[in-house]
Structure 1
């Protein structure tokens, strides 16, 4: 599995989508961050949620569906490296990509923009893990149902924008109709963004939102496992 991980890491670094996932959230942070107060607790959580959403809904499903379309997973089934190993490696690498994207955002925000960084590391870690698990679960479900990589890419993009809107990543929730803001708060991306924002503001995430994210991750992962095809 180590050799597989090394090969997949090299392929990931050459993937334009990986650079897209790193630079788009950073671009948004820098452009809008230059005009906000250093104590702002909204923009950085939004940028972090955008980064994880791009990896989970764009990179992960497109890669897995493309591998199945090209018969890579089927060919692996005839070697000592089982198809499940590819799935594990991809999940780990995509998680690392999400962490690198978020680490870059935190570094730039803290050093260049003077943004407020929370000190409650455990709460951040729990929120990040649950939010990422939910987004990755959706990505795996897309990969399971999409007939090919292009379809997975298209479905991921089509899902991302309405989810991002409802989550308050495109328009602040206080400028949205009350009903949309309330519904969006309980979507996977909305619960993630709100929980991050609560921690950034010095509080703790709403336990209900943590349960919501965990439920999304569990239920959608089960559905993805049920429908996933190796060939």
Structure 2
């Protein structure tokens, strides 16, 4: 087994033991089950919301907390003295966090489709584009938090402080239809808001608005570049 494969195996086991990983599954699943019993089969709101919640938890909480804690403990610095470079750990973490987000989303889709008989999208390419761009946008914000936070606890706090206002603006706490028009319009162009709206468009049988896809892509590129410039390995 190569050093990179060993690193991936170890990081995967550590991720499974992380309590935050369980919350990524349990919180959106709880919301889906509690509110899913009262939705109509053609509902296009609840499942996109829970998917956005799951990805948001990974991107704003789990990813930055893990990376900032690794820097705080000197793990990234020690890796620089081994054949496995710190960048390899970053790549492995991004892949594993993506797998976690996909697994949590897959569970939500499976429960919604089988237990709740909820409406599922038929446009796979449109769903894949919205999901991957939205995930990339949220992960880029998580990377920026990890770059700026001095330690894991600070990254956790920053992630929580960002998550709730972003979730509100995205319509994950209060339905967009009940928000003032200006607030709803602003929220549509936040990373989480664009993600939720793009998924909702897919559920409604339409293609995501090109502007929303462009917004998510812009966040993914610009914020990731800022994170790369500001990131400290030790």
Question: What is the TM-score of this pair, normalised by structure 1?
Answer: 1.00
Aligned residue among 140, 143, 157 for 2:143 = 140
Aligned residue among 154, 158, 177 for 1:174 = 177
CA shift at 1:39, angstroms? 1.0
CA distance in structure 2 between the aligned counterparts of 1:98 and 1:14, rounded to whole angstroms: 16
* Count of aligned pairs between the two proteins: 231
Q: Deviations over 1:29-69 (max 9, x none)?
A: 00011111111000000000000000000000000000000
Q: Deviations over 1:176-211 (max 9, x none)?
A: 011000000010000000000000000110100000
Per mean C-alpha deviation after superposition, the further-off stretch among 162-171 and 31-40 is 31-40
Q: How does 1:95-134 map to 2 (within 5 A)?
A: 95-134=98-137
Aligned to 1:203: 206
Aligned to 2:21: 18
Q: Deviations over 1:143-187 (max 9, x none)?
A: 000000000000000000000000000000000011000000010
Show structure 2 runs of 5+ residues with no match: none
CA distance in structure 2 between the aligned counterparts of 1:26 and 1:38, rounded to whole angstroms: 17
Aligned to 2:216: 213
Match of 1:208, SS state, is helix
Match of 2:28, SS state, is helix
CA distance in structure 2 between the aligned counterparts of 1:128 and 1:118, rounded to whole angstroms: 12
Q: Deviations over 1:2-49 (max 9, x none)?
A: 110000000000000000111100000000111111110000000000
Match of 2:40, SS state, is coil
Q: Deviations over 1:130-154 (max 9, x none)?
A: 0000000000000000000000000
Match of 1:108, SS state, is helix
Question: What is the TM-score of this pair, normalised by structure 2?
Answer: 0.98
